[in-house]
Structure 1
Amino acid sequence: MGLPLVSSALLDFPHNRVFPCMEFMGSHLSASKSYAPALKFNCQHFHKVGSTLPGVILCANRKFRGDEAVWKREQLTQNVDFPPKFPKKKKKPYPIPFKEIKHAARTDWKLAHMGIEKPLEPPKNGLLVPDLVPVAYGVFDAWKLLIKGLSQLLHVIPAHGCSECSEVHVAPIGHCILDCEGPTSSQRHSSHAWVKGSINDILVPIESYHLFDPFGRRIKHQTRFEYDRIPAVVELCIQAGVDIPEYPSRRRTNPVRILGRKILDRGGHIEEPKPWRSAESSSLLDFDTYRVCERFPRPSLADLPKIAEETLYAYETVRKGVRKLMKKYTVKACGYCSEVHVGPWGHNAKLCGAFKHQWRDGKHGWQDATVDEVFPPNYVWHVRDPSGPPLRSSLKRYYGKTPAVVEVCMQAGAKISDEYKPMMRLDIVIPDSDETRMII
C-alpha cells in the first residue's frame, strides 16, 4: 500500500501554530512482506528554525543537512514548584558536589607536598579583575536606587510582617494562612501576629564584616568589634573594585603567593588606614536602610508606576550583577545559619547559634555561598486583588509566590517579566471555598 503524495502548499503552516504531526511507528520497510504502516497522530507546539522555504517535508530515517528545515518542540514553562525550605535541624547542602571539593583539596595537598605553589588567577591572587569593575559599580548604583525606590513605594503599598516568624505579606491586611512557625504559634493555632512592615522585611538585610585586606589576618572572636558590618552586596562590590572613602580596601599590584594553606607572600605589608567617619555622612546613608523611609518623601500617585519600573529594574540589575561577581570572587556562607562572609575564607567569630552549635563551639560551618544567601529573594504570597478578601488557608495550594520586591513593584503598577510568572500560577483559577470539596 503506497502512501498518498502530499502537496507542499498544504504544509505551509503559520509560524508557531498548532498542527497535527504524523509519525511512523515502523522503522524498516520490506518489499517481500506485507506491511501496514502504523500512523500516530499528535498535536504539538512547534516553531520553525533556520528555513526560508515554505512547506518542507521531513522524511523519516534520514539525516538532515544544515540548510534544511528543522521543527523543534516549543518549551513552555508554567506553574513551577516553590523553592524548598531547608530544615533548621540539618546542614544546608553543598552548592558544589562534595566529591569535587575533596578532589580539589587533594590536588592542592599534592602540589604543597611537592613544594609547588598553587597557581592562582585574579581575583584568587588578590588582584582585581578589570572587566568586573564596571559590573561592581553598576551593582552598587543599582543597590542605592533599589533602597530609594522601595522606601518611596512603601509609603503607598502596605506591607505586613509577622512579629513571631519571618513571614511577610504585601497587602492592606495580613493573610489568614495558618503556617506560622514562631515560638508561640501553638497558642495562636499557627496564625500570624501581623504588624506594620518596613523595608527590612522586604529587602532582607544580610550583613558582612568589612575587611581592608581580605587576605590579611582572620577575624577572631575577641577582635570582632574592631570591624564594621555593612551589607554583603556592598562589601562584594568594594572587593570587586568600588572605592568608598569611608570603607577603604587594599588594591594590590603584586599577587599573593600560596603554598597549600600557607601564604608565602601577601604582596607586601601596608598599614591599614583608619579614616574618620561621621554618622551624618551622605555616602553611608545611600546604601543603608536605617530610617530610610524618613529620608525620602511620599511620591505622588502619578509617579508611582515610573518609580516601580525603576525599582524593579534595579532589583534585576543587582541580582544579575551579584551572580556575575560571585563566579569570580569568593563568598562564604554558614551551612547552619544565615551568616555570610565575603573573602577567601570565613572568620573565626563564635556567633553561630544554630543546630549543634555546641559541638562546634559556636563557630560557623563555612561553605561556598549561593546568590540566594547573599541577596535573598524573600518569597511572599502573590495577591491578585489587593482590595479583595484575604488569602485563606483552605485555598493555599491555588496561590502562587513571587519575590517580595517584585510583589511591591507589581502592585505599584510595574510590568513584570515572564521570569516570575511561572511561580505566580496566574493560569490557575482560584475556586470559591464552597467549590474546593468538589475538586479532586
Structure 2
Amino acid sequence: MYKTVLWEISHLKKLGCRSIPNFIYATRRTHSLGGGDDNPLYVDIPKPCRRKSERKPYPTPMKLLIRRAKAEREARKAEPCRMLEEAPENGLLVPELVEVAHQVYQARGKLLRGLSKLTDAVPIKRCRFCSEVHIAHVGHEIRTCTGPKSGFRSATHVWRRGGIEDVVYFPYCFHLHDRVGKPRVGHDEKSRVLRLPAIVELCIQAGVELKDYPTRRRTKPVYWMDGRIVDFESEKEEEEEKEKEEDDEEQHKERDSQSEELDMQAQSSDDVEENLSELSFNTLESWFEMISGAKKIMKKYSVLTCGYCPEVQVGPKGHKVRMCRASKHQSRNGMHAWQEATIDDLIGPNYVWHAWDPHGPPLVNDLKRYYGKAPAVVELCVQAGAPVPDEYSSMMRLDVVPPDRDEVDLVA
C-alpha cells in the first residue's frame, strides 16, 4: 500500500501537480495509530522532553514494587539468618554474563573508534545554548530550543560544530570496590572514590577486570543476618582469588590485544571513500551489540537513576552524595530520588531529527510533524552509508513524504 502511495506522490509531482490529495498524507496517521499491533518492530518517535519539575516514569509499576517489598519483608521475618543463594546478590558472579560483559566492553571501544572516524566525514551540528544535535551540513530550523534567552530568538537554535560527546552520552557513576559489603558511597567519600562511565562499571561488576578499578571477587556466598551482610570468607582464600584474577587478566589482555590487531588490520586502508560504508556498518553493529548486551546484564545487575536528574549509580543501592540540583532537591537535602534505570539512562541515545537529504535545504518548523527521529549514532551511520535498521525504520518515518512549504495548508 505504501509503495503505491509513494508512487502516486512522485507521479503527481512529475506532472507538475502542486496540490497533493489529502488522503495520501493521511496514510501516515493511520499507520502511526494502528501499526503498533500489527508490526512488533514499530516504534513511534520519542515524546518531547519532560518538564524539569516532572519525575521520570517508573519502568516497573508502583503496585508491583510495593508487592515485592512486602514479600521481601515477610521473608526476612520468617528467616532472619539465611544464606543468599542467587547471584549477584550473594556476592558471586553470574557465569553466563561474564562473556557478555567482555563483549559489551569491547563493543564500546569499537563504537568510540568508529565514531571518531565517522565524525570527520559526516558533519555534526550542536546548538550553542541547549543540548539539541543535528547531523547534516546545515542545521534545521525547527524551533525547539530551551536554552537561555530562547524566547528572544523565537526558540530557534544557534548552531556550531559538534563532536563524539554529542552523538552518544555515557553518564558517570562511582566505582564500588565491594558491591555487596559496602554498596553505598557516603557524602564524605565523594572525593576519594573514583568515577567512571556507568557502562564500564556495569561490565566490571559483571566480570571485567581492570587494573585501575580493583573489585573484590568472592568464592563463597554471603549470609544475611538481621538486616546485615556477613562474610565468612578467610584472608587466604582472598589471596588465592587475587592470583586467579591475575591469571584471568593476562588471558583477557591477550584476547583484547588479538581483537585490537584484527581491528587495525581491517581498518588499515588507503581509500577512505570505499571503506566509509563498511566502517559505518561495523560501527552500527557494535552499537547494537553494546545495547543488547547491556540489557541482558541489567536484568541481573541493578542500575539506579535519579528520578529528576541524569545521575546514575550501578549497584544494589544508590549513593548518599548530596549533589542533586534538580527540582525539589531542597526537600531531599540534595539527595537523589533513586529509582530503577532503563537503557536510555545508562547510554544516552540523544535522539535527532532524520534528514532526508543531508546536503539539501534545512528542515522546516512548519513540517516537523512529518519528520522522523532516530538515535544520533544510527543517523550518523545511515548518512555514512549503512543500511537503515528495521528497529528504527518506522521511527525515522521513511514511509512519509513531507509536503512542500506551500502545501502545508492543503494537507489535513
Q: TM-score, normalised by structure 2?
A: 0.79
- Name the SS of the counterpart of 1:147 in structure 2: helix
2:359 aligns with one of 375, 384, 387: 387
Q: Which residue of 1 aligns with 2:87?
A: 122
CA contact (8 A) 2:89 2:180 kept: no
Q: Which residue of 2 aligns with 1:197?
A: 162
CA contact (8 A) 1:152 1:298 kept: no
* Structure 2 unaligned blocks of 5 or more: 1-36, 243-267
Q: Which residue of 1 aligns with 2:246?
A: none
Give the deviation of 1:155 after TM superposition: 0.6
Give the deviation of 1:415 after TM superposition: 1.1
2:188 aligns with one of 202, 206, 222: 222
1:149 aligns with one of 94, 100, 114: 114
Are 1:86 and 2:58 an aligned pair?
no
| 1:255-334 → structure 2 map (5 Å cutoff) | 255-259=221-225, 261-265=227-231, 267=233, 300-334=272-306
CA distance in 2, matches of 1:389, 1:79: 28
CA distance in 2, matches of 1:117, 1:132: 29
Q: Which residue of 1 aligns with 2:310?
A: 338
- Name the SS of the counterpart of 1:181 in structure 2: coil
User: Larger deviation: 381-390 or 74-83?
Assistant: 74-83
Q: For residues 178-201 of structure 1, give each alpha carbon's deviation from its aligned partner in whole angstroms, at most 9, with x where no partner exists.
A: 110112211211011211101000
Q: Which residue of 2 aligns with 1:172?
A: 137
CA distance in 2, matches of 1:333, 1:120: 26
CA contact (8 A) 2:138 2:361 kept: no
Greater helix proportion: 2
Q: For residues 46-85 of structure 1, give each alpha carbon's deviation from its aligned partner in whole angstroms, at most 9, with x where no partner exists.
A: xxxxxxxxxxxxxxxxxxxxxxxxxxxx934687432223
Give the deviation of 1:115 after TM superposition: 4.0
CA contact (8 A) 2:41 2:390 kept: no
Q: Which residue of 2 aligns with 1:213?
A: 178
CA contact (8 A) 2:43 2:391 kept: no
CA contact (8 A) 1:152 1:297 kept: no
Question: Which structure ranks higher in relative contact order (CA pairs < 8 Å, sequence separation ≥ 6)?
Answer: 2
Are 1:247 and 2:219 an aligned pair?
no
Give the deviation of 1:117 after TM superposition: 4.0
User: Larger deviation: 383-392 or 216-225?
Assistant: 216-225
CA distance in 2, matches of 1:221, 1:91: 24
CA distance in 1, matches of 2:41, 2:405: 24
Q: Which residue of 2 aligns with 1:428?
A: 400
Letter in 1 for 2:388: I
Residues 157, 263 of structure 1: alpha-carbon distance in 2 compared, 3 angstrom cutoff: same
Residues 266, 328 of structure 1: alpha-carbon distance in 2 compared, 3 angstrom cutoff: farther
Give the deviation of 1:112 after TM superposition: 2.5
Letter in 2 for 1:243: E
1:75 aligns with one of 13, 21, 38: 38
CA distance in 2, matches of 1:436, 1:87: 29
User: Larger deviation: 312-321 or 376-385?
Assistant: 376-385
- Name the SS of the counterpart of 2:279 in structure 1: helix
Q: Which residue of 2 aligns with 1:7?
A: none
- Name the SS of the counterpart of 2:406 in structure 1: coil
Letter in 2 for 1:112: R
Letter in 2 for 1:183: P
Letter in 2 for 1:368: E
Give the deviation of 1:260 after TM superposition: 6.3
Residues 120, 194 of structure 1: alpha-carbon distance in 2 compared, 3 angstrom cutoff: farther
CA contact (8 A) 2:350 2:375 kept: yes
Give the deviation of 1:417 after TM superposition: 1.9
Q: For residues 321-349 of structure 1, give each alpha carbon's deviation from its aligned partner in whole angstroms, at most 9, with x where no partner exists.
A: 00000011111111111111011111000
CA distance in 2, matches of 1:117, 1:310: 51
- Name the SS of the counterpart of 2:87 in structure 1: coil
Larger Rg: 1
Give the deviation of 1:267 after TM superposition: 4.7
Residues 351, 377 of structure 1: alpha-carbon distance in 2 compared, 3 angstrom cutoff: same
CA contact (8 A) 1:155 1:298 kept: no
2:382 aligns with one of 405, 410, 428: 410
CA contact (8 A) 1:90 1:336 kept: yes
CA contact (8 A) 2:308 2:327 kept: yes
CA distance in 2, matches of 1:385, 1:410: 12
Q: Which residue of 1 aligns with 2:68?
A: 104
Q: Which residue of 1 aligns with 2:30?
A: none
CA distance in 2, matches of 1:298, 1:91: 51
Are 1:375 and 2:347 an aligned pair?
yes
CA distance in 2, matches of 1:257, 1:219: 22
Q: TM-score, normalised by structure 1?
A: 0.74
CA contact (8 A) 1:136 1:321 kept: yes
Letter in 1 for 2:194: D
CA distance in 2, matches of 1:167, 1:298: 34
1:133 aligns with one of 66, 74, 98: 98
